[in-house]
Structure 1
């Protein structure tokens, strides 16, 4: 695929829908092209609402010189995905629907967009105390492994695990949505840009110099308001 002289995203999306989903009740375009964050490798994310299908599915295409991902739902199945995404605190489908440009079926999609926006505005459920303790324990375990490790290869993967655990902890204890991959950083920036800069800089310094100091300080600072590191007295599954 080449980005040179290819159709505009919205035009390509319309043509794709006309060809592959001509009888759908609604369709919207979401993703990086809508947010103004598209790169040379960005694809088109399309959410399709088709009452004729029995079960939701996802499918990938190459069409009109674009990589296209379609997420197909009927007018009830999307609710199960909304519910699942909220429980995971990763609002993949609600975010796509909320930010999407309606291409077809405005009367069908507008109420679903409203539903998605309300879910996003409400945020994820608050972690119960037991979950906070569990996550503190896992972070403590990863941090201790990180501090004590002297094998560079092992350190790299421990650092990755630690970064994911801590980012999740920060976001969930503040009732913010989480993400994975690039969405970890984006979610953190949406919550607190200043913390995100310090967090990223700490790990970047470690990866470049192997100096663990800043990472340790950031992790301990995150845990401090919740009682700090947790090992002694932690129990799981005991009657």
Structure 2
């Protein structure tokens, strides 16, 4: 019966702001509920801008029958997280603000939204040839471990590491943002849905059957245009 009385995400978010941040200059509701991807376990991601704060903070709580994650900033502290996300090539804060629904705005949210959109459109910093070479080496190293491993438990986690490396390599060599957890697949789909199907099929087949061939082929395929496997002659940090 409790669910029948549960407030909508927007209504709950408005009440949350009115209760806890009535004097803030702006607030945005973001996350899966805004994108229409909410599930039974989804929470409300709310970004708040309050000029009275000296520094930013993050807090999780339950209010109005909703789990809520609130990200609280003054009018400049968000820029640090923009920069951090840009360096990591995972623009979480930028996406939240650009996609988010405005709950309150004293003429500050739209400029921040535009700033977020400019970063999203620009894309991450392009990888240098040196970085690409290093990543080829790491993929080769993990792939060799995967091929040679005879311990199923260890193999599973080597496969996990390989999936992370492959997704990163494909996206960053194509000047795309990367992801983590569920955002790995979302980031891949945003770039190339057909490749994503091949990627998922390769690892799904391995996890279900222990057959490695599709993962091996996928790993070699993504690094082949950049020179393929790399071991002999690789050096990092050696004084010249």
> TM-score, normalised on structure 2?
0.98
The answer to whether the 8 Å contact 2:147/2:212 transfers is yes
The answer to whether the 8 Å contact 2:27/2:47 transfers is yes
Query: Distance between the aligned counterparts of 2:97 and 2:6, measured in 1?
Result: 25
Counterpart position of 1:39: 39
- Does 2:65 match 1:84? no
Query: Distance between the aligned counterparts of 1:15 and 1:26, measured in 2?
Result: 14
Alignment gaps of 5+ in structure 1: none
Counterpart position of 1:157: 157
Query: Distance between the aligned counterparts of 2:129 and 2:93, measured in 1?
Result: 28
Structure 1 consecutive aligned stretches of length 4 or more whose deviation exceeds 3 Å: none
After superposition, the CA RMSD in angstroms is 1.1
List per-residue Cα deviations over 1:85-134 (Å, max 9, x = no partner): 10110101001000000010152100000000010000001001111011
The answer to whether the 8 Å contact 1:3/1:40 transfers is no
How many pairs does the alignment contain?
A: 239
Give the match's secondary structure for 1:45: strand
Give the match's secondary structure for 1:119: helix
Query: Distance between the aligned counterparts of 2:33 and 2:117, measured in 1?
Result: 19
Shift of 1:220: 0.5
Counterpart position of 1:198: 198
The answer to whether the 8 Å contact 1:60/1:68 transfers is yes
The answer to whether the 8 Å contact 1:127/1:173 transfers is yes
Query: Distance between the aligned counterparts of 1:39 and 1:79, measured in 2?
Result: 30
Counterpart position of 2:5: 5
Query: Distance between the aligned counterparts of 2:138 and 2:201, measured in 1?
Result: 22
List per-residue Cα deviations over 1:183-217 (Å, max 9, x = no partner): 00000000000000000000000011111001111
Alignment gaps of 5+ in structure 2: none
The answer to whether the 8 Å contact 1:46/1:71 transfers is yes
Give the match's secondary structure for 1:103: strand
TM alignment of 1:118-157, pairs within 5 A: 118-157=118-157
- Does 2:51 match 1:51? yes
Change (3 A) 1:157 1:3: farther
> TM-score, normalised on structure 1?
0.98
Query: Distance between the aligned counterparts of 1:87 and 1:149, measured in 2?
Result: 34
Give the match's secondary structure for 1:107: coil
Counterpart position of 1:207: 207
